[in-house]
Structure 1
């Protein structure tokens, strides 16, 4: 399980939903021209790609800066 998946789960997403968000982010990255993300074994994606899908920040440092 990747750290971004753990972050999504800590935000309240279920494990399968978090994995699906990562798959969606991979598809998005491929559509943007990053063929590197077609690798089935690759489970890491940019945080910004997942944030664009869910429409919210998942970075802890960004949350701390607001306080």
Structure 2
């Protein structure tokens, strides 16, 4: 599971598509308008919508792969 900010890393949809096509079980989300540290709610780059989506997807990943959805906030 990967969450990318497109601003710093320049991750392209084609790069993610190639990784998925390699046969590796891979889940990635690219947040096009997010900057590095978009999840840090104390910084200037904080993106609340992207952060909330990333957190929900992280908890879903935990529930699916680890059997729990009650990770600490």
TM-score by shorter chain over 0.5? no
- Normalised by the size of structure 2, how large is the TM-score? 0.35
Q: Which structure shows the bigger proportion of residues in helix conformation?
A: 1
Q: Which structure shows the bigger proportion of residues in strand conformation?
A: 2
Greater RCO, CA 8 A, separation 6+: 1
Larger Rg: 2
